[in-house]
Amino acid sequence: MTLADLAHSVSRGYRDIEEVKRYTGFGTGPCQGKECLAVVAAELARLTQQPPEAIPPFTSRPPLSPTPLRLLARDPGAHRFSDDTEK
């Protein structure tokens, strides 16, 4: 994600932070926006001439940090199908 990507998104009419996320892919990488969200929001406020408080963060998605499947697979809350015979 570069400043040029953001300007491109805004110029195409995708100015809502959720739209920018989808148009540029920012916030969908390993950091899930933890590093880039504030910077993008500040630049978006400048480009669209809005006060920063008019730009809420995009919806954050679980899990809080990247989690291996093998750990999740042990959670007792998993639904049991007909061949899930073990405890």
Partner 1 sequence: MLPVMDDEEDDSRADVSGEIRLPATLEGNTGPLPENCEIAIVGGGVVGLAIAYYLAKRGLTDVVVIERGYLAEGASGRNGGGVRQQWSTEINIRLMQESVELCRRFAVDLGVNVWFRQGGYLFLARDEKEIARLEKNIDIQNRCGVKTRMVDPEEARGIVPELDITGGSSAGGQPIIGGAYNPTDGILFPWPFLWGYARQAAAMGVKIYTQTPVGGLEKQPSGGYVVRTPRGAVHARRVINATGAWSPQLAKLIGVEVPTFPIRHEICSSEPLKPFLKPMVSELRSGLYCSQSMRGEIVGGVSVPGHASTYAMGSTLEFLATYARRLVRLMPILGEIKILRQWAGPYDQSPDGNPVLGAASADHPDFFLACGFVGHGFMMAPIIGKLYAEWLTGDAPHEIFSRYTLGRFTDGSGASYPKEDFNIG
Q: Any contact of residue 45 with partner 1 (CB under 8 A)?
A: no
Distance CA(58)–CA(36), nearest Å, equals 12
Distance CA(75)–CA(9), nearest Å, equals 40
Q: Any contact of residue 48 with partner 1 (CB under 8 A)?
A: yes
Candidate ranges 34-42, 50-58, 64-72; the one touching partner 1 (CB under 8 A):
64-72
Footprint on this chain of partner 1 (rule: CB under 8 A): 1-8, 10-16, 18-19, 22-25, 28-30, 32, 46-48, 59, 61-63, 66-73, 75-79, 81-86
